[in-house]
Amino acid sequence: MALSLTDLKNGMAIDLPDGLFSVVEFQHVKPGKGGAFVRTKLRNLRTKSVVERTFRAEEKVEQAVIDKREMQFLYRDADQYVFMDNASYDQMNVDGSSLGNATSYLKEGDSAVLELYGGEIVDVDLPAAVELSVAETDPGLQGDRVSGARKPATMETGLVVQVPLFVNPGDRIKVDTRSGEYLTRA
């Protein structure tokens, strides 16, 4: 659907020749001389890079309708992740590469919002924090109480997180999905 640049809104998705973008911010500028233009900051939905673009006010762009579906992760089959749509109960096989780093936080039974455009997954919305079990880490030594000291721990999903010394294998911890950092014991 062709869209006039005067109708732009933050968060709106647009399809440009060089990719699929989300509008981070925009500004309509009407200089004293010359034609009006729109200065935008756009985030590429596939690569997550942010670019600045300027458009003439009379230009049209193609609005991309992103279908957001809440889905439950059922299981992993080799490099395929199998999700079930919570509304229609349809199953969808998804390539691990199209999920990006979300695979480090997904456990069987977890819910995620998959953003689809033309059948292609362009983004995965995860909760801000997830609970994961520590699969492997060095045991904390008695008397080793250095303030702020950290050690690497491998989670049940394969993600490696820096955790405090008191965390042991089998413990459940909360991990921030945006930064991949340890938050607290669960």
Q: What is the pLDDT of residues 41-84, one digit of tens each?
A: 999 887 888 999 998 888 888 888 888 889 999 998 888 889 99
Nearest to 124 by CA among 92, 99, 89: 99
Domain-by-domain residue ranges, the chain?
2-63, 67-125, 129-185
* pLDDT for 59: 84
Q: How many CA atoms within 13 Å lie on the side-chain side of 56?
A: 4
Q: Which CATH class is domain 2-63?
A: mainly beta
Q: Characterise 138 by phi-psi region: left (phi > 0), alpha (psi -120 to 50), beta (else).
A: beta
Amino acid at 154: T
pTM as predicted: 0.73
pLDDT at 143: 60
Q: Do domains 67-125 and 129-185 have the same CATH topology?
A: yes
Model confidence band, residue 142 (pLDDT cutoffs 50, 70, 90): low
d(CA 55, CA 38): 5
Fold of 129-185: OB fold (Dihydrolipoamide Acetyltransferase, E2P) (2.40.50)
User: Class of 67-125 per CATH?
Assistant: mainly beta
User: pLDDT: is 5 or 17 the higher one?
Assistant: 17
